[in-house]
A and B are shown apart, each in its own frame.
Chain A
Amino acid sequence: DAKTTQPTSMDCAEGRAANLPCNHSTISGNEYVYWYRQIHSQGPQYIIHGLKNNETNEMASLIITEDRKSSTLILPHATLRDTAVYYCIARSRGGYNAGKSTFGDGTTLTVKP
């Protein structure tokens, strides 16, 4: 499974868009990019996932580069409640790594008033 690299921390002003980058240069063709966030040692919460097309849901948008080596999670209007650790992971759809998810250190996003 591909290793992901994220910045350690980021700040964002409340009401502004938060853009969280993730590098997954060794991602393979059958690995999806998933984003989760974790607040205060609660269980991580699913945000969004994608394979190669850009995706949008009620929480966020996911932009994946054409070569799939990196992606960006966009929270369009960040609120104080979006302060959390955000994890980007590559999750295999099959093969010997199916079911295994490697979480990196994540990005601590702090939304400031």
Chain B
Amino acid sequence: KAGVTQTPRYLIKTRGQQVTLSCSPISGHRSVSWYQQTPGQGLQFLFEYFSETQRNKGNFPGRFSGRQFSNSRSEMNVSTLELGDSALYLCASSLASYGELFFGEGSRLTVL
């Protein structure tokens, strides 16, 4: 069965712009969580959605937001981009909020 798909894989933006990243979970998975990975901070939890509801949120500013659709697909948005937002953004899906996480390959964002 198909794995977690993230699009786009690579993108370059400039400071002040906004970006939307997409994640298609494994079929049947209802939980989608997002992580930011940078060399200095490692893997940091952004937020988790289950059945279209945000269940948990990490310590990120309000510029980071997300949503989940009825088909479990999820998007995250970062507004007013800063240089420090350059990172690999990883999406993971699981059957339930506590299950095994299946990660996508990530979207690598570069902010210039």
Q: Do A and B bind each other?
A: yes
Identify which of B4, B43, B100 contacts A103 (C-beta below 8 A).
B43
Distance of A23 Cα from B62 Cα, bound (Å):
32
Q: What does DSSP make chain A's interface, helix, strand, loop or mixed? A: loop
Given that A36-B101, A98-B55, A99-B55 are contacting pairs, would A43 and B42 also be in contact in the complex, using a CB cutoff of 8 Å? no
A-B CB pair tally, cutoff 8 Å: 65
Interface size class on chain B is: 20 to 34
Distance of A46 Cα from B26 Cα, bound (Å):
14
Contacts of A106 in B (CB 8 A): 42
Interface size class on chain A is: 20 to 34
| 33-89 of chain A: CB within 8 A of chain B | 34, 36, 41-46, 49, 87
**Which A residues lie at the B interface, using CB under 8 A?**
32, 34, 36, 41-46, 49, 87, 91-94, 96-106
